Every structure is written in structure tokens, then in C-alpha cells.
């Protein structure tokens, strides 16, 4: 069914060509999910891949191991002699000794540099220069020298030299086969990756997987990589592999080994779904944190809070009503990886902040997805508490996002340092803290089209949006946005109001009002997950929402994003528009409406669009002209802060009493195409008709029908 055709009904719009259609995100995955590459690197990678393949094939012939190319098809390979069926559950790492091993020579630095640079991957050692130098000195076996004398000898480096000293060029991952052949990941995990049908690793996978799976000590990692670039797979593969290894070497140790924290329930549940596909048959368990779960040994720490605003559709709903004593009898959750929102885990570990935080002593990996928001004041305290609760000295952290302010980097550095001091680790002992950036930091993906549209007023925005919904009326508009798409508003009342305004715009033959839905955090968990499911299934075509869905959520075939209300910050813009154009898909559109109230805040968005177009190398037809960038005002630091916290003032949800609150915000900010005057007239007319009907009914009852034209006007 062509949603666009049904929406346009029998309009005279020219049918779009098939070639244009095939470029839409909804038409399927991109041939290559990478965003940055050059012909030169393609060649180099192909050459390297072949070399490695040949070496692997030679080794395979020698060992006469049958059918070990786990990536050749979606079929499971025949179980080898070295890996009997029974072993697949506890995927024995030692069994991999007889698997394909890659004897290809490691790349030289020039090759590594060429590949990393052309994919715009930049790896930096984030530790203090002194610590880096101390470590490199110690590896050179010059331990005899005192630290003091080293300090004295260390030359003073210029900023440029310091940058150069921090820059690293680790070996990249050329193809997914190397996960098994070179990095020796669990064979079952490798099969599960292969079953997803991915052929080429994205930039973030290319850069991070070798760092996390390689032989040298696992680093703490800060990753800034574009939206939709496959960060989930990048952190899940190493986490799962580490646990498979751990199970193998410590079969008697059971408990939570990894925590993945995400800011919303929707994202947490999506990570669990992705994780489940990867852990199948590996013996590793991944679980979504739910109310009522007991995750810590420390007595009855998990007291439940009925009022918790992060409630979840618990599998064990009965646990909610159990008294505290009984709750202590709830068995400990048997899971290796726990995926959670911050508050949910903190509540479970601290009996809703009534006791001191229990610890999670076995956790070796802490993943913070959307780390910048997790360490933003809103979640900071909770996230840091979780970090502290992970008390194992070998804990490694990974902070992942498409945007990362320098304040988050500083906070990460200082938290790691504090932990090391608490644990008594010397600066020369610790592992590295590396930062990996793909593309330009804090920029929007280059594979989507941005449209920044001045709509003057709220009414103008609604008219513009209606044109998108009914392209028949939009002959003058150059924007063709095909469903499915997302519409973002600033507040929940505005999302609700916009939804009710648009509900009847979809023609009945296209499915009517059921095709459009609203999703926000005031809905119940069940409603939220039903809407998510229906949108993913394609039953809902247009989803009006708030920033609840701005981050992380992966609806693969979304054709566009409409910022009905401008986002509160440039970072939010990057995340919102990143819901389209995922995994390298072309043809996604991001439409942002702005009114005169928004003008003070638009420059940062215009800058992001400009940067994204530069990244794409789009010359000539730039959507942001230089004169506009020059004309738009800069925002003061304080106004930026205020905007980030509360959004555009005129659109903030007013503090109204229940009676006054019509869900549509302040007068000028109403979501309606009609003016106040028109609305009043309409209301009066409606009232008059109703009154007339009442009178007629009353008169009929009296057996005395009055003259239809003699109604006495308005009540
Ligand atoms: N190598 C790959 N080839 C093709 N598709 C991939 C590859 N890796 C991941 N994907 C797909 O890309 C999509 C986006 O992945 P993911 O949700 O992990 O992105 P992300 O980087 O976390 O984005 P965001 O910053 O928005 O959270 C998913 O549908 C995933 O299945």
C-alpha cells in the first residue's frame, strides 16, 4: 500500500519516479551503511580483506576444518568436531583454537592512517599528557628513573605537539569476518552477527570493535558517532563476548556482569531486543530492568515505589503488591546483562533512596548509551550513583552518543580519576581513556535533506504541516514528505493538541485517524509500547511526539522528521533529525518550522544544517544561505541554558488549573489554523444551533412547534 498515494488521494500530483522512490529510507537498507569513505580506502580495504581471506583460507586448508565461514550465509554452519553441539550453550572459547585464524600481516601505520582518516575516525588518548608519557616511558623499560626526574626531563610541548602526542591510529576492522578470524569472538556470537545480514561495518564499528576486542588492555571509551551508525552493535558485541569468556573461565560465578544504562524505557527495551538476537545460544542472558526485580544480594534493597514515574509493564506485576518482607524472598534476577533507565536501577539499589546504595560487585562493563544526556543535570546524580555502585576494580566504562559536550568529557575524566584514587590504583597502572570521534563532533548526519522553513506564526506552521499531509494542496511547496514520519513538539500538551487537530486530516480510505498517533510519557507503559509496536509495523504512519523519542530509538524506514516546534538545543536537533537516514539510508528529510518567537534560537540549528551540508560536500544548492547565518542573532550563554531547560518561553506549558487548561497552551500559541475571532464565531454558532435544537425538542414535547426562523439568538 502506498501511504503517500492514499494521503494525496486522487490528486494531480505527478507520480514520483521509481528511482526517486528507491532512494527513500522506507524502501530498504542502503548498500553501504558507511557515511564517509573514499575510492582510495575502498581499494585499500578490499586489498586488505583479500589478503586476509587468502591467509585464512590457507590456514583452513591446512587444518581441514569443514565449513567454518560463519559469514557466508544466513545458515548456521555445520557444527565442527572441535565444537560439539553441547558446547554451543556455553560457547567454549578454547574450542575456537581450531577455528579459522587469520595470519595476515598487521597493517602498517600508513595504511591505518589512510583508512581511519578517510572514514573520518579520530582516536585520541584523553589522559593527562603526563600519564601518557609515564606509561610510554614505563613500557620502554626505564622504570629506574624517578618520576620527578622524568617530569624535569619532559619537554614542554606546544598545543599542536600535544594533540599529535595524543593521536592514535589503531588497526581498523575491515569486515565482519575478522571478528571471528582475527579477534576470536565466540563462534555463536559471530553467527548471530552474521544472521543480521550486515555486510560492511559502519565507521563506529570499524573503529571501536578492534579497541574493545583486541589483545591490549581494554580501554575506557568515549564515543561520539553519528546517529543511526550502529553504536548499539558496537557496544553489545564486546560486552557479550567478554561475558562468554568469563563464563568459560569462571563457570561458578553468576550475577550481573554488565549494566547498560539508557535514558528512556523505549530505548532500553530496544537495546534488549537487539541484544537478544546477539546472545541466542551463547549462554548469556540479557534482561530489561523492571519494577519488582531483585538485583542485589543486599537484603530488601528493592522496595517498590508505586509512584515511580518510570514505572514499567512488569512481567512480575504481583511483586508490586508484595510486602517488603516477602520481597526479600523474590529470587535474585538471573541475568548477565541488565539494561535499565537510571532511576529504575537507583531505586532498586537504594530502596527508593531510603537506604544507602547497594553495590554491584561483579559488573565489569558499564555502558552509558546517550551518555551526554545521562550525565546532564537531569540524570547526573543517578548515573554517577550507578557508576559508583559498580565496585569491581576492573570496571570499564563506555560512553556513547552522537553528541558530547566538553563538560561531559571533563566529568568522565574526573570521575575515573576519583575512582582510581579510591581504589588505590597508581596513575601508571590504569588503562587508557580513549575518545573516538566519527565525522565532525556534534554534527547531523550528511545523508539527509534539511529544510528550515519560516512559518511566521503558529497558524503558519499548522498550514505548512497540513500541506505536508495533503500534498495536493502544496503545489507551491518543494517538500515531499512521505509517511512514515515523526512530528516533534516542545511539550506534551502541544503534542496532544496537534494530534487532535490533525486526527481527521487522514482520509478514511487511507485508514483515517488510526494512521496518526501521539506518544508521550504521560501515557501508560502499555499504551506506549502498543504505539511503538504499531508504528514499527507500519500501521501508524504519522507519530506526534515529544523529545521522549528524540534519542536512540531506531525506526529503520522513517522517511522524515518534522520539527513542528524547534528543538531546545543544537544537540537535540542532531538527535531528532537522526531518526531518519539510519544506517546510511538516503532520501530522508528533516523539516523545521520556525516562527518569529523562534528567531533568537535558530542560529545554532542553521549552523548544524550548514555543517551537515558541508560534510556532504553539497555545493551550490545550499539550504542555508550565508546572509541568513549572518543575520540570525547569537544567543547569550544564559539564554541558551534557559532554552535548553525550558524551551521557547511562549510555548511552555502554562501553569493552569485543570479547569482552565485546554491542552493547547497560551493563546497565541494555540495549535489551530483558525484565529481567535473565527473560533469565537464558530463556538457561538455551535451554541446557537444546540440551543435551537433544545428549544425545538422542548416545543415538540409541548406539542407546540415554534417557527424555525424565530430562534432568539445566542445564549
Ligand atoms: N554494519 C551495519 N550495516 C547495516 N546496518 C547496520 C549495521 N550496524 C547497525 N546497523 C543498523 O543500523 C541501525 C541503527 O543502529 P543503532 O540504533 O545502533 O544506531 P545508533 O548509532 O545507536 O544511533 P542513535 O545515535 O540514534 O542512537 C539499526 O537498524 C541497525 O540494525
DSSP for 324-367 reads: HHHHTTSPBP--SEEEE-HHHHHHHHTTTTTSPPPP-TT--EEE
Full DSSP string of 493-526: HHHHHHHHHHGGGS-GGGTGGGGEEEE-TTS-HH
CA distances from 360 to 298, 333, 349, 422 (A): 10, 13, 9, 16
Name the more confident of 13 and 175. 175
Give the nearest ligand 1 atom to 201 CA.
1
Is the shortest distance between the CB of 179 and ligand 1 below 6 Å?
no
Reduced to 3 states, what is the DSSP secondary structure of residue 621? coil
For the segment 246-262, the average pLDDT, to the nearest whole number, is: 95
Q: Place 65 in a pLDDT band, splitting at 50, 70 and 90.
A: very low
pLDDT in tens, 452-478: 999 999 999 999 998 888 766 555 557
Closest C-alpha to ligand 1, atom 12: 583
Q: Where are the alpha helices (DSSP H) in 473-616?
A: 492-502, 525-537, 570-577, 603-616
Task: Please give the pLDDT value at position 51.
Answer: 59
Task: Please give the pLDDT value at position 71.
Answer: 31
Is the shortest distance between the CB of 227 and ligand 1 below 6 Å?
yes
CA of 430 to the centre of ligand 1 (A): 31
Is the shortest distance between the CB of 232 and ligand 1 below 6 Å?
yes
Closest C-alpha to ligand 1, atom 14: 228
Give the nearest ligand 1 atom to 227 CA.
25
DSSP conformational letter for 106: P
Closest C-alpha to ligand 1, atom 7: 230
pLDDT at position 150 over 70? no
Is the Cβ–Cβ distance between 604 and 571 less than 8 Å? no
Is the shortest distance between the CB of 615 and ligand 1 below 6 Å?
no
Full DSSP string of 643-671: HHHH--GGGSPP---TTT--SS-SGGG--
Is the Cβ–Cβ distance between 93 and 248 less than 8 Å? yes
Is the Cβ–Cβ distance between 224 and 399 less than 8 Å? no
CA of 232 to the centre of ligand 1 (A): 7
Tell which residue, 132, 126, 312, 343, has the closest CA to residue 224: 126
Is the shortest distance between the CB of 229 and ligand 1 below 6 Å?
yes
Give the nearest ligand 1 atom to 202 CA.
1
CA of 14 to the centre of ligand 1 (A): 34
**Portion of the chain with pLDDT greater than 90, in percent:** 51
Give the nearest ligand 1 atom to 556 CA.
29
Give the Cα separation of 263 and 583 in Å (integer).
Answer: 22
Closest C-alpha to ligand 1, atom 16: 230
CA distances from 529 to 526, 567, 688 (A): 5, 24, 43
Is the shortest distance between the CB of 133 and ligand 1 below 6 Å?
no
Give the nearest ligand 1 atom to 225 CA.
21
Candidate of 582, 586, 588, 590 to mutate for ligand 1, largest count of ligand atoms within 8 Å of Cβ = 582
Closest C-alpha to ligand 1, atom 9: 230
Beta bridge partners of 453: 593
Task: Please give the pLDDT value at position 66.
Answer: 34
Is the Cβ–Cβ distance between 193 and 279 less than 8 Å? no
Q: Place 682 in a pLDDT band, splitting at 50, 70 and 90.
A: low
**What is the number of other CB atoms lying within 10 angstroms of the CB of residue 677?**
8
Give the Cα separation of 671 and 595 in Å (integer).
Answer: 13
Name the more confident of 449 and 78. 449
Is the shortest distance between the CB of 545 and ligand 1 below 6 Å?
no
Pairing of strands 286-288, 337-340: parallel
Name the more confident of 495 and 662. 495
DSSP conformational letter for 408: H
Candidate of 28, 224, 228 to mutate for ligand 1, largest count of ligand atoms within 8 Å of Cβ = 228
Question: Residue 332 — φ and ψ, nearest 5°?
Answer: -65, 140
Is the shortest distance between the CB of 403 and ligand 1 below 6 Å?
no
pLDDT in tens, 609-668: 999 988 887 565 677 888 888 989 998 889 988 999 889 988 886 654 444 445 444 555
- SS3 helix, strand, coil % of the chain, rounded to 5? 45, 10, 45
Give the Cα separation of 327 and 315 in Å (integer).
Answer: 15
CA of 170 to the centre of ligand 1 (A): 22
Is the shortest distance between the CB of 275 and ligand 1 below 6 Å?
no
Give the nearest ligand 1 atom to 200 CA.
1
Reduced to 3 states, what is the DSSP secondary structure of residue 322? coil
Task: Please give the pLDDT value at position 619.
Answer: 60
Q: Place 52 in a pLDDT band, splitting at 50, 70 and 90.
A: low
Half-sphere exposure of 118 (CA within 13 A, CB side): 16
Is the shortest distance between the CB of 238 and ligand 1 below 6 Å?
no
pLDDT in tens, 84-132: 333 344 444 443 333 444 456 788 899 999 999 999 999 999 887 777 6
Q: Place 30 in a pLDDT band, splitting at 50, 70 and 90.
A: confident
pLDDT at position 133 over 80? no
pLDDT in tens, 154-187: 667 778 888 888 999 999 999 999 999 999 999 9
pLDDT at position 20 over 70? no
pLDDT at position 324 over 60? no
Cα end-to-end distance, the chain, whole Å: 49
For residues 167-176, one letter each, b for 16 or more C-beta atoms within 10 angstroms of the residue's C-beta and e for the rest, the string is ebbbbbbbbb
Most confident range (mean pLDDT) of 152-166, 425-439, 478-492, 539-553 is 539-553
CA of 231 to the centre of ligand 1 (A): 6
Is the Cβ–Cβ distance between 376 and 412 less than 8 Å? no
Give the nearest ligand 1 atom to 234 CA.
18
Give the nearest ligand 1 atom to 204 CA.
21
CA of 260 to the centre of ligand 1 (A): 17
Is the Cβ–Cβ distance between 258 and 365 less than 8 Å? yes
Task: Please give the pLDDT value at position 49.
Answer: 62
CA of 273 to the centre of ligand 1 (A): 13
Give the Cα separation of 585 and 559 in Å (integer).
Answer: 9
Closest C-alpha to ligand 1, atom 10: 230
* Among the ranges given (81-95, 108-122, 411-425, 585-599), the one the predictor scored with the smallest mean pLDDT: 81-95
CA of 79 to the centre of ligand 1 (A): 30
CA of 204 to the centre of ligand 1 (A): 10
| The three cell numbers locating residue 58 | 590457507
CA of 540 to the centre of ligand 1 (A): 22
Task: Please give the pLDDT value at position 421.
Answer: 84
Give the nearest ligand 1 atom to 401 CA.
25
Tell which residue, 47, 186, 204, 162, has the closest CA to residue 111: 47
CA of 379 to the centre of ligand 1 (A): 24
Give the nearest ligand 1 atom to 552 CA.
27
pLDDT at position 76 over 50? no
pLDDT in tens, 187-234: 999 999 999 999 899 999 999 999 999 888 899 999 999 999 999 999
Task: Please give the pLDDT value at position 289.
Answer: 95
Is the shortest distance between the CB of 233 and ligand 1 below 6 Å?
yes
Task: Please give the pLDDT value at position 510.
Answer: 82
Beta bridge partners of 121: 438
Give the nearest ligand 1 atom to 233 CA.
18
CA of 583 to the centre of ligand 1 (A): 5
Dihedral over Cα of 101, 102, 106, 107: its sign:
negative
Is the shortest distance between the CB of 244 and ligand 1 below 6 Å?
no
CA of 554 to the centre of ligand 1 (A): 8
Considering the chain, what is the average pLDDT of its residues?
A: 79
| The three cell numbers locating residue 623 | 539550504
Cis (ω within 30 of 0) for the bond into 15? no
Tell which residue, 52, 61, 98, has the closest CA to residue 79: 98
pLDDT at position 708 over 60? no
CA of 229 to the centre of ligand 1 (A): 5
pLDDT at position 322 over 80? no
Task: Please give the pLDDT value at position 299.
Answer: 45
Closest C-alpha to ligand 1, atom 30: 230
Give the nearest ligand 1 atom to 578 CA.
26
Give the Cα separation of 693 and 715 in Å (integer).
Answer: 13
pLDDT at position 57 over 70? no
Is the shortest distance between the CB of 25 and ligand 1 below 6 Å?
no
Task: Please give the pLDDT value at position 477.
Answer: 58
**Portion of the chain with pLDDT greater than 70, in percent:** 70
CA distances from 223 to 159, 174, 209, 417 (A): 23, 19, 12, 19
CA distances from 640 to 300, 477, 635, 644 (A): 43, 32, 6, 6
Dihedral over Cα of 474, 478, 483, 484: its sign:
negative
For the segment 24-45, the average pLDDT, to the nearest whole number, is: 76
Candidate of 30, 45, 223, 232 to mutate for ligand 1, largest count of ligand atoms within 8 Å of Cβ = 232
Is the shortest distance between the CB of 584 and ligand 1 below 6 Å?
no
For residues 136-150, one letter each, b for 16 or more C-beta atoms within 10 angstroms of the residue's C-beta and e for the rest, the string is ebeeeeeeeeeeeee
| The three cell numbers locating residue 95 | 574450542
Is the Cβ–Cβ distance between 142 and 178 less than 8 Å? no
CA distances from 275 to 17, 20, 178, 234, 286 (A): 38, 34, 20, 11, 7
Residues 6+ apart with CB under 8 A from 404: 222, 224, 371, 372, 441, 442
Task: Please give the pLDDT value at position 614.
Answer: 87
Amino acid at each position: 500500500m502506498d501511504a503517500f498515494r492514499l494521503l494525496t488521494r486522487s490528486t494531480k500530483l505527478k507520480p514520483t519516479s521509481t528511482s526517486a522512490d528507491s532512494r527513500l529510507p522506507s524502501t530498504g537498507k542502503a548498500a553501504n551503511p558507511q557515511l564517509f569513505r573514499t575510492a582510495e580506502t575502498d581499494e585499500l580495504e578490499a586489498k586488505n580483506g583479500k589478503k586476509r581471506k587468502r591467509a585464512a583460507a590457507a590456514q583452513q586448508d591446512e587444518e581441514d576444518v569443514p565449513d567454518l565461514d560463519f559469514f557466508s550465509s544466513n545458515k548456521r554452519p555445520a557444527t565442527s568436531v572441535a565444537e560439539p553441539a553441547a558446547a554451543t550453550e556455553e560457547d567454549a572459547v578454547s574450542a575456537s583454537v581450531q577455528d579459522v585464524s587469520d595470519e595476515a600481516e598487521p597493517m602498517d601505520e600508513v595504511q591505518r592512517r589512510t583508512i581511519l582518516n578517510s572514514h573520518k575516525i579520530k582516536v585520541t588518548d584523553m589522559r593527562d599528557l603526563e600519564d601518557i608519557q609515564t606509561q610510554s616511558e614505563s613500557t620502554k623499560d626505564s622504570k629506574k628513573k624517578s618520576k620527578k626526574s622524568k617530569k624535569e626531563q619532559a619537554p614542554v610541548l606546544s598545543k599542536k605537539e600535544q594533540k599529535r602526542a595524543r593521536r592514535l591510529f589503531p588497526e581498523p576492522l575491515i569486515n565482519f569476518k575478522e571478528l571471528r578470524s582475527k579477534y576470536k569472538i565466540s563462534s555463536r556470537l559471530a553467527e548471530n552477527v552474521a544472521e543480521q545480514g550486515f555486510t560492511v561495518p559502519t565507521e563506529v564499528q570499524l573503529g571501536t570493535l578492534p579497541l574493545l576486542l583486541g589483545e591490549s588492555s581494554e580501554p575506557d571509551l568515549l564515543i561520539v558517532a553519528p546517529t543511526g551508525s550502529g553504536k548499539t552493535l558496537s557496544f553489545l558485541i564486546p560486552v557479550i563476548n567478554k561475558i562468554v569468556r568469563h563464563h568459560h573461565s569462571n563457570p561458578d560465578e553468576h550475577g550481573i556482569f554488565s549494566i547498560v544504562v539508557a535514558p528512556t524505557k523505549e530505548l532500553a527495551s530496544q537495546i534488549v531486543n537487539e541484544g537478544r538476537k546477539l546472545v541466542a545460544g551463547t549462554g548469556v542472558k540479557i534482561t530489561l530492568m523492571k519494577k519488582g526485580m531483585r538485583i542485589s544480594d543486599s537484603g530488601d534493597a528493592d522496595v517498590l515505589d508505586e509512584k515511580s514515574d518510570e514505572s514499567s509493564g512488569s512481567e512480575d506485576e504481583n511483586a508490586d503488591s508484595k510486602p517488603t518482607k516477602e520481597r526479600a524472598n523474590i529470587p535474585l534476577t538471573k541475568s548477565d546483562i541488565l539494561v535499565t533507565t537510571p532511576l529504575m536501577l537507583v531505586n532498586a539499589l537504594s530502596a527508593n533512596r531510603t537506604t544507602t546504595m547497594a553495590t554491584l560487585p561483579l559488573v565489569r562493563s558499564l555502558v552509558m548509551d546517550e551518555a551526554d544526556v545521562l550525565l546532564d543535570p537531569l540524570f547526573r546524580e543517578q548515573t554517577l550513583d550507578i557508576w559508583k555502585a559498580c565496585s569491581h576494580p576492573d570496571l570499564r566504562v563506555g560512553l556513547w552518543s552522537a553528541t558530547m559536550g566538553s563538560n561531559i568529557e571533563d566529568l568522565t575524566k574526573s570521575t575515573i580519576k576519583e575512582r582510581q584514587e579510591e581504589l588505590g590504583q597508581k596513575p601508571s597502572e590504569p588503562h587508557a581513556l580513549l575518545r573516538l570521534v566519527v565525522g565532525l563532533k556534534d554534527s547531523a548526519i550528511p545523508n539527509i535533506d534539511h529544510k528550515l522553513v519560516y512559518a511566521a506564526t503558529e497558524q503558519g506552521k499548522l498550514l505548512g504541516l497540513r500541506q505536508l499531509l495533503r500534498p495536493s494542496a502544496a503545489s507551491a511547496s518543494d517538500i515531499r514528505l512521505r509517511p512514515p514520519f515523526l512530528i516533534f513538539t516542545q511539550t506534551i500538551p502541544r503534542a496532544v493538541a496537534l494530534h487532535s487537530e490533525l486526527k481527521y486530516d487522514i482520509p478514511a480510505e487511507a485508514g483515517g485517524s488510526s494512521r496518526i498517533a501521539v506518544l508521550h510519557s504521560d501515557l501508560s507503559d502499555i499504551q506506549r509500547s502498543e504505539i511503538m509496536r504499531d508504528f514499527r509495523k507500519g500501521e501508524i504512519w504519522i507519530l506526534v511526539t515529544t523529545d521522549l523519542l528524540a534519542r536512540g530509538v531506531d525506526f529503520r524506514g522513517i522517511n522524515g522528521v518534522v520539527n513542528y516546534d524547534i528543538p531546545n538545543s543544537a544537540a537535540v536537533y542532531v538527535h531528532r533529525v537522526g531518526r531518519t537516514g539510519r544506517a546510511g539510508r538516503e532520501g530522508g528529510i528533516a523539516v523545521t518550522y520556525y516562527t518569529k518567537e523562534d528567531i533568537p534560537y535558530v542560529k545554532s540549528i542553521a549552523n548544524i544544517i550548514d555543517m551537515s551540508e558541508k560534510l556532504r560536500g553539497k555545493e551550490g544548492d545550499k539550504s542555508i544561505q550565508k546572509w541568513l547565518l549572518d543575520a540570525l542573532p547569537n544567543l547569550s550563554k544564559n539564554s541558551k541554558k534557559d532554552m535548553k531547560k525550558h524551551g521557547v518561553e511562549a510555548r511552555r506549558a502554562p501553569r493552569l488549573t485543570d479547569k482552565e487548561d485546554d491542552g493547547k497552551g497560551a493563546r497565541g500559541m494555540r495549535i489551530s489554523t483558525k484565529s481567535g475571532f473565527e473560533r469565537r464565531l464558530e463556538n457561538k454558532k455551535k451554541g446557537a444551533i444546540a440551543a435551537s435544537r433544545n428549544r425545538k425538542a422542548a416545543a415538540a414535547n409541548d406539542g407546540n412547534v415554534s417557527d424555525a426562523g424565530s430562534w432568539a439568538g445566542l445564549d
